Amino acid sequence: MSAEVYRDNWGIPHLRGADPDELSFAQGRVTAVDRAWQLEVERHRARGTTASFLGTGETGWDTFVRRARLADTARRCFDRLDAETARWVRAYVDGVNEGLPEGARRAPEFARTGLTPGRWEPWTPLAVWLSTHILFAGMPTKLWREEVAHRLGEEWTELFATDGPGTAGSNGWVVSGDRTASGAAIVAGDPHRFIEAPGVYQQIRLACPEFDVVGFAVPGVPGLPHFGHAGRVAWAITNAMADYQDLYRERLRRTADGGVEALGPEGWRPATAHVETVEVAGAEPVEIEVIETARGPVIIGTDGSRVDSDSGSGAGPDADSGADSGSDSDSGAGSGPDADSGSWDAISLRYPPRVTGELGFRVLPALLAARTVADVDRAVDGWVEPVNVLQAADVDGGLLHRVAGYVPVRDRANSLRVVPAWEAAHAWRDGGPAPTPRADVQGHAVMANARGLAAPLGAEFAPRHRAERIAALLDGSKTWTPEAMTTVHTDTDNPSAAPLLEAVRASGAPDRASGAREEGDPAPAPLSPAALAVRARLLGWDRRMDADSVDAGLYASVRGAVVRRVAGHPAFAALREPAPHPAVFQPWLALGPRVAFALETLLTSGPVPAADIAEIVRAALEEVASGEEPPAWGVTHRLAPWQALPDADAEATDAQWPGLGGDHDCVLSTSSVPGFTDRSGRASAARYVWDLADRDNSLWVVPFGASGIAGEAHHRDQLPLWLRGELAPVTTDWHHLTKEFPRDDH
């Protein structure tokens, strides 16, 4: 027999097969039929071939993927899979390949681009997973710290740390049975990612005699790796914010036969090198050199351009100093061994799957078969990347709160900066990864990317605001129901506003308004009546970032003006010049967003004097007061999803997408870049409530819909629910589902 496909009222596929392999085939096929364009984009992104049909704007990504050797790493990891898991993954790929022709006929993007879907290889799902998560661990932040250290000063290296504060992250919580109305546990939350259309998560049900699981799949990857409810046990994750990728400063040189050598702890050693061609639609192809040292693939500086302290990226071995050895291992910079005039500096990336040949895919079928939290616990022992905080609960009262993933053991400096490849102290230590922490659940446990359970494994974490707010809300009841959990998902209280509001309060007090003035300096002029009115409104504001709140819009306008002025302060002049790194890293290297996300810290510490901060706040109040009345927050705070190819019938304007409530440090986390744009590209990529009392009481939603095909009924039918903070019911009774019969749309 072949697996049966059923659909619920939201078009969500429910698959029923004879065994896990047949079911995996069906999952691949239905995903290809529903989301052929999305899968084709992901396949190309994983291979570094998107520019071949999307044009020059994707050349930077393709170059990075090729140099980081993602496809080759995926092949290695697939080749190391056990036979049973490899067969299961192949079944998924076979299903994708069978479903792609039908899916491509239905998806208008193929006709618009003239693209023909390519064939998936057995390792393609692993490559999709790698490309989706390669920038998850904050590796580019190490490049930013190098910029700060060398341009602003070593003492300010961690000034912009995301602990105080940062961008959005995911929320998750588990509530024990003694805090629920049913007496059974509830697992709930919402992962925050850059929003893509179609969505990055796919609601699906996978059922066979061995298991029956509902959850969120990643299109292009078999199973339910992040969020699932198997009836007797449910699980969910958030990003642990662990640091498990290292950047090494390499010294490279050419050999007489045209090869490449790299300087390591034992001297010059051969590196591998070859040339690849990136095809570009509408432009000439681009040839790139792909180099790999003993540390890892070279991702910056393969072209022989010098990457040194003068360029703001940290110094490598000093070719002119004649020094014999050594560098400042605490900072990853300084002078190193003497080198010949033909050498150059570069930066390589070392990441666990490339080193170990393991990605953790054997965990995926084991998770589907889990019946208890102990099963889940054992399964995720084999997880690799990304490193997650995982929570689980089962019908017998079992609870789980732990970290899962591979974090190498190495020098602390590796987690902070680009470190010298020629120093043995920065090598990964033998003996396997660092232990993964765990904790007991007392009433409830919250995970929101904050410093806590995973603190020993990371360098920067999200601010504590979301985690503390969720815990406070959960403490407010001992009779939680699945429906009531939506009040947590949608909470718009903005604790990160407190420091700016305090500065606004101080602006109206003559003895405090100018900060620490030098003796004899004149006192600042009093605020204008209009600015005082703005100040009064902000101090009376309830601190909620509701979409229809005009006071939230007023706060956002003042905040934006403050961010722009702080970023423009002479103290940060050295950081305004663009960093000399590939375009793919520039979102992490721009001063404005860094100031926006670290505003809480910069208002009270840093190189900008307190008196200047006070004057900046006063000037921002005057600026907003003298302009037009800011609209309600949701008028400018609009959803801005990424689309590989925007809908043909939709204009690329703000008006195309709806307004949002929330902000980057609210539980309803919708991130923009204050001071530069209110458009939100990062928000809840899904919301879920897993009820262990009765799976059919569970709830879920995604931002758009089950179908990736523009114009279909289920393309964006969940968007109104998602905007209102509502959830759709999880339906598992086969009698309440509609069986789908084979199509005939040739």
| CATH for 310 | 2.30.120.10
Identify whether the C-beta of residue 353 lies closer than 8 Å to the C-beta of residue 77. Answer: yes
Side-chain half-sphere of 184: how many Cα atoms within 13 Å? 19
- Domain annotation covers residue 113: no
Decide if pLDDT at 714 tops 50. Answer: yes
DSSP state of 268: E
Considering the domain boundaries, does residue 713 fall inside one?
no
pLDDT reported for residue 118? 96
Give a yes or no: residue 567 inside a domain: yes
Give yes or no: residues 500 and 624 share one domain. Answer: yes
pLDDT computed for residue 339 by the predictor: 54
Q: Is the N-terminal amide bond of 165 cis, ω within 30° of 0? A: yes
Is the confidence at residue 320, as pLDDT, over 50? no
Structural domain contains residue 98? no
Answer yes or no: do 566 and 582 share one domain.
Answer: yes
Residues 290 and 267 in one domain: yes
Whether 265 and 338 map to the same domain: the answer is yes
- CATH number of 382's domain: 3.60.20.10
pLDDT of residue 524: 75
Are 511 and 592 members of one domain? yes
Report the distance separating Cα 619 and Cα 508, nearest Å.
12
- Give me the pLDDT at residue 136, please: 85
The rounded percent of the chain whose pLDDT value lies above 90 is 87
686 token code pair: 């899904």
Classify residue 433: in a domain, yes or no: yes
3-class DSSP state of 480: strand
* Tokens 């996978």 belong to residue: 206
Instruction: Examine the pLDDT at 380 and tell me if it is beyond 80.
Output: yes
Residue by residue, DSSP assigns 431-473 as S-SPPPPB---BSEEEESSBSSTTGGG-S--B-SHHHHHHHHH
Choose between 165 and 201: higher pLDDT: 201
Q: How far is CA 700 from the centre of its chain?
A: 21
Q: Are residues 223 and 334 in the same domain?
A: no
**Residues 385 and 451 grouped into a single domain:** yes
Q: What is the sign, positive or negative, of the torsion defined by CA atoms of 596, 602, 606, 612?
A: positive
Q: What is the 3-class SS of 112-144, one letter each residue?
A: HHCCCCCCCCCCHHHHHHHHHHCCCCCHHHHHH
Residue 386 has pLDDT above 60, yes or no: yes
Residues 265 and 399 in one domain: no
Domain of residue 263: give its range.
Answer: 246-350
- Tokens 């007489």 label which residue? 256
Helices (H), 627-679: 633-636
Shared-domain flag, residues 513 and 580: yes
Q: What is d(CA 556, CA 533) in angstroms, rounded to the nearest whole number? A: 16
Please compute, for residue 648, the number of CA atoms within 13 A of its CA located in the half-sphere on the CB side: 10
Cα 312 to chain centroid distance, Å, stands at 26
Residues 160, 163, 165, 171, CA torsion sign: positive
Q: What pLDDT digit, counting tens, does each position of 235-276 carry?
A: 999 999 999 999 999 999 999 999 999 999 999 999 999 999
Locus of tokens 């050797």 = 69
According to the model, what pLDDT value does residue 561 have? 98
Average pLDDT, the chain: 91
Q: What is the mean pLDDT of residues 563-577?
A: 97
Euclidean distance between CA atoms 674 and 294, whole angstroms:
41
Question: 67-120 pLDDT, tens per residue?
Answer: 999 999 999 999 999 999 999 999 999 999 999 999 999 999 999 999 999 999
Residue 319 in contact with residue 325, Cβ under 8 Å?
Answer: no
* pLDDT of amino acid 165: 34
Averaged pLDDT, 645-662: 71
* Coil vs helix vs strand at 614: helix
Task: Answer with the one of 597, 613, 631 that is the final residue of a domain.
Answer: 631
Residue 326 pLDDT more than 80?
no
DSSP 590: -
Number of folded domains that form the chain: 3
In a domain, 64, yes or no: no
**H/E element holding 278?**
strand 267-278
**For residues 29 and 23, what is the distance between their CA atoms, to the nearest angstrom?**
10
Residues 326 and 383 in one domain: no
CA R_g for the chain: 26
| DSSP line for 222-241 | -S-SSEEE-SSEEEEEEE--
Asked if residue 519 and residue 447 are part of one domain, the reply reads: no
pLDDT of residue 515 exceeding 60: no
Per-residue model confidence as pLDDT tens digits over 591-622: 999 999 999 999 999 999 999 999 999 999 99
- Which of 507-521, 530-544, 609-623 shows the lowest mean pLDDT across its residues? 507-521
Q: Does the pLDDT at position 741 exceed 90? A: no
pLDDT tens digits, residue range 472-489? 999 999 999 999 999 999
Whether residue 261 is found in the same domain as residue 388: no
Collect all residues with Cβ–Cβ distance below 8 Å to 455 and sequence separation of at least 6: 461
Per-residue pLDDT at 356 exceeds 80: yes
Instruction: Check if the beta carbon of residue 667 is closer than 8 Å to that of residue 470.
Output: yes
Residue type at 362 in one-letter notation: R
**Last residue of one domain, picked from the residues 308, 323, 350:** 350
- Asked if the model's pLDDT at residue 449 lies above 50, the reply is yes
Concatenate the DSSP letters of all residues of 42-91 into one string: HHHHHHT-THHHH-GGGHHHHHHHHHHTHHHHHHHHHHTS-HHHHHHHHH
Residue 329, both tokens:
């291992």
Per the domain annotation, does 511 fall within a domain?
Answer: yes
Cα(283)–Cα(616) distance, rounded to whole angstroms? Answer: 46
Phi, psi of 164 (to 5 degrees): -145, 80
- Which has the closest alpha carbon to 416: 225, 146, 711? 146
Q: Report pLDDT digits (tens) over 41-52.
A: 999 999 999 999
Looking at the domain assignment, is residue 100 inside a domain? Answer: no
Distance of alpha carbon 607 from alpha carbon 187, whole angstroms: 43
Which of 581, 608, 631 delimits the end of a domain?
631
Confirm if 287 and 275 have CB atoms less than 8 A apart: yes
